[in-house]
Structures are given as C-alpha cells and as structure tokens.
Amino acid sequence: MSKVSNIMRLVLLQLRGSKDKVANVKNAARTIEAAVKEHHPRLITLPECFNAPYGTKYFREYSETIPDGYTCQELSNLAKKHQVYIVGGTIPELGENDAIYNTCTVWSPTGDLVAKHRKMHLFDIDVKGGIRFKESETLSAGNDFTTIDVDGHKIGIGICYDIRFEEMARLYRNAGCEMIIYPAAFNMTTGPLHWELLQRARANDNQLFVVTTSPARDASAEYVAYGHSMVVDPWAKVQQSASDGEETVVADIDFSLVEQVRQQIPVFGQRRLDLYGTEKKSK
C-alpha cells in the first residue's frame, strides 16, 4: 500500500491452538507465509493467546518477556522477512515486578516492535449456568491506550473484553483512529449473544472499522473459543467473517469509507459537549 492510497489489504488468521507453544508459533509462521504468498497483505492479525492455552492456570507458565522472548523474536523475524505489519494477537507477558499481562505486540515490516498493548479490562465474569472466568486471579491490568500508524492511518488496539467498554473506543475515535483491532477469544456463552453485536455497536458509535481475530474453535479445549473472526465497516456492516474452524480471512479496507460515513451522518460534531463528554484522564 502506498502512502497516498486509501486501500489496505488486511488478513485475519483464525488459528487453532494447543498446549505446545513452539508448535503454536510454528503454525502461525506457516500460515503467515501462506497468506503472504497468496494474498499479499499489508497487515496481518493473529488471535488472542495464540501461543498458549487460554486459562488462568496457564498464563504464568507460558509467559515470556517482551521483546526478547521466543514468540516475540519469531514475530519480529516474520514481519521483517515478509515485509508486513503484524498485530501479534496476544501472549502472556512477564512484566515488571513479576506481574503477568495479557499483551498484544505490533511489529513493523522492519521487524521492529512499534507498540504493545496490555489488556486494560480483565475478563472477570460469572454467568450462572454459563461460564465463570477470573483473569484477575493471575493477570494484572494495563493502563495505557495504544495506537499505531500504518501508512498514515491511525489504528487503536484493544483486547477482547476491552470491546465491552464504549468509553475506550470513544477515546480512540477522539484521537483520530479509523480502525480498532481487538484480538479476542469470546466463548460459547457470550459469543453467540454479543460477539457480532459489540463489534457492530463500536463501529456504528464511532464510525470506524472494527476488526476481531479469534482462535479457532476446539471443542476439546478447556476454554472453547467462539471463532467467527470478523471485519465490520463504519456503516456497521459485516464486511468479512470467518466460520468457527481454522480460516484465513482477507479484507480490502477502504479507509475513504470512514470519512464518507462521518460526513453523511456527522454525529461527532453534533455531540452536546456542553452537557457531557468522554475524556482521557492523566495518571
């Protein structure tokens, strides 16, 4: 993609994971190589916890430091080798003071780490008859908003449960983002109810693209992901969607659609900021 073009080819890799970290990373590498060869993307996204099982008892065991850990070094090499941006899903990060974070890394075509986003909102839920999960039993929450620039287009980064918090998406919109990417692993309780709904809501509210990349569904896993990785456009229309198995989703993103929608339905400039507002707080 040239700097004057509004079209960006995006690839979402919905991958099936296992308890073998090396095998998971090698699967990602093979799939990235195949996607580059066939589709020639500018940006590739991976799922939440693509290198490890998703579960509180696994986060510390599979954690590694950023950027010198095994998974990060592989992602860096892949981005440089294939000359693409990689939004590296998430991995369990071993951070300062022995804290563990659920972290998304972003790699440039030069192989450099250009951003990392630590999940801000921890997935602590207890749905009677459905699912109980408490990320806070193991994980610490991140405190920073994360944006990247790809060829002049500003993109916000969130992780899974972050998508439920409309204030976060609004702040990305306020900052000029045209897209938000959420590596995510919704489950079989919340997925059928809220997965598409939340993506379309965030896209509609903020008139931008919303991209989610999920692990493939594995019915034998302890945590069963919903799948259905998705691209939603600024009209809140589903542009592309996967099914539930391993799948490569290809989408040509036309960023000019963002400005078209914002001009035709100019809600951003019509807000009653004399009565309400959403503002980022300094720490």
Using one digit for the tens of pLDDT, what is the confidence trace for 18-77? 999 999 999 999 999 999 999 999 999 999 999 999 999 999 999 999 999 999 999 999
Residue 91 lies in a domain: yes
| Across 186-198, average pLDDT | 96
- Cα angle 93-98-99, degrees, rounded to a multiple of 5: 55
| Across 123-134, average pLDDT | 86
| Across 209-231, average pLDDT | 97
Residue 1 lies in a domain: no
- DSSP-H helix ranges across 89-225: 166-174, 190-206
pLDDT exceeds cutoff 80 at 207 = yes
Residue 21 lies in a domain: yes
Q: Which of these is catalytic: 135, 160, 177, 247?
A: 160
Q: Please give the pLDDT value at position 137.
A: 92
Number of structural domains found in the chain: 1
Q: Please give the pLDDT value at position 3.
A: 46
pLDDT exceeds cutoff 90 at 185 = yes
Nearest to 49 by CA among 130, 138, 125, 126: 138
Q: pTM (2 decimals)? A: 0.95
Q: Which of these is catalytic: 48, 64, 178, 247?
A: 48
**CATH code of residue 167:** 3.60.110.10
Share of the chain above pLDDT 70, in %: 98
pLDDT top residue among 281 and 156: 156
Residue 15 lies in a domain: yes
Q: Which of these is catalytic: 119, 177, 178, 247?
A: 119
Residue 2 lies in a domain: no
Residue 259 lies in a domain: yes
Q: Please give the pLDDT value at position 282.
A: 80
Containing domain of residue 52, as a range?
A: 7-269
Task: Give the β-pairing of 179-183 and 209-213.
Answer: parallel
Residue 119 is among the residues annotated as catalytic for this protein: yes
For the chain, how far is it from start to end, CA to CA, in angstroms?
A: 37
Residue 75 lies in a domain: yes
Residue 278 lies in a domain: no
Q: Please give the pLDDT value at position 131.
A: 83
Residue 160 is among the residues annotated as catalytic for this protein: yes
Q: Residues 158, 160, 161, 167: is their CA dihedral positive or negative?
A: positive
pLDDT top residue among 131 and 217: 217
Residue 129 exposure: Cα atoms within 13 Å on the Cβ side: 0
Average of per-residue pLDDT values in the chain: 95
Structure tokens at 66: 């950023």
